[in-house]
Amino acid sequence: MRYFLTIILSLLCLIGANAQKGLEVSKLFEAKGKWKLKFTATHLSGRALKPYNLTLFRSITTGDSRLYDEIEQAVNKDAQKTIDKECGYIDGQLYYGFFLFEPKEKKNRYLFYRNSSLRSNEPNEVTIVYMEGYATLKELKEMFR
Q: Distance between CA atoms of 35 and 89, rounded to whole angstroms?
A: 25
pLDDT grade for 10, boundaries at 50, 70 and 90: very low
Sheet holding 54-62: strands in order across? 40-45, 54-62, 126-133, 107-115, 93-104, 84-90
Beta pairing partners, 114: 96, 127
Q: Report pLDDT digits (tens) over 107-125.
A: 999 999 999 999 999 999 9
Kindly tell me if the per-residue pLDDT of 1 is higher than 60. no
Q: Partners of 115 in the beta sheet?
A: 126
Give the mean model confidence (pLDDT) for residues 90-118: 94
Pair 143, 129: CB distance under 8 Å: no
Distance in angstroms (rounded) separating the CA atoms of residues 82 and 88: 16
Tell me, what's the pLDDT at 35?
57
Q: Is 53 exposed, middle or buried (0-12, 13-18, 19+ CB in 10 A)?
A: middle
pLDDT at 15: 40
Neighbours of 22 (CB within 10 A): 12
Residue 51 pLDDT exceeds 70: yes
Residue that wins the pLDDT comparison between 145 and 142: 142
Q: Please, which pLDDT band fits residue 45 given cuts at 50, 70 and 90?
A: confident
What is the amino acid identity at position 97? Answer: G
Contact of 88 with 96, CB cutoff 8 Å? yes
Domain range summary for the chain, segments of one domain joined by +:
2-144
Task: List, for residues 16-32, the tens digit of each pLDDT value.
Answer: 444 566 788 888 877 65
The amino acid present at 36, given as its one-letter code, is K
Q: Say whether pLDDT at 39 is over 90.
A: no
